[in-house]
Amino acid sequence: MTKFNFYKDLPSPQEAADDLERGEFVVFDAPLAGARALNNQVDQIVGETIMLHHENTIPVWNGEPYFVMVPKGSDEYHDRKDRLRKLVIDWFAVKNPTQVKSI
């Protein structure tokens, strides 16, 4: 089971790094530039490359965009991607509260 930390606002670089170092994934909604900047800052803290996935609640990009940060080389994200999308749709429906979900 993997924990996904949903952030209403862009998490701080340290918050995201702490989550990733515990093996948890980070989910947030932010402008692309903010997501890239956060990814670079977290890379520096963690000392390894973090994968930033730009996703959408509807696979053909007509829904709500969101980002998922995962440690590079993690296969768990791809195994849980479809189930995560369903949680993200529910997350957007309740106005993106900060919360933790397990898949």
Average pLDDT of the residues in 19-42: 93
CATH number at residue 74: 3.30.110
Query: Do 69 and 37 form a contact (C-beta atoms < 8 A)?
Result: no
Convert the pLDDT of each residue in 33-92 to its tens digit: 999 999 999 999 998 888 999 999 887 667 888 999 998 777 788 888 889 999 999 999
CA-closest candidate to residue 4, choices 73, 69, 72, 56? 69
In order of 8, 65, 80, the CA distances from 46 in angstroms are 22, 25, 23
- SS3 state at 27: strand
What pLDDT does residue 15 have? 96
Q: What is the DSSP letter of 68?
A: E
Domain count across the chain? 1
Q: What is the pTM of this model?
A: 0.90
Domain extent at residue 76: 3-102
What pLDDT does residue 60 have? 67
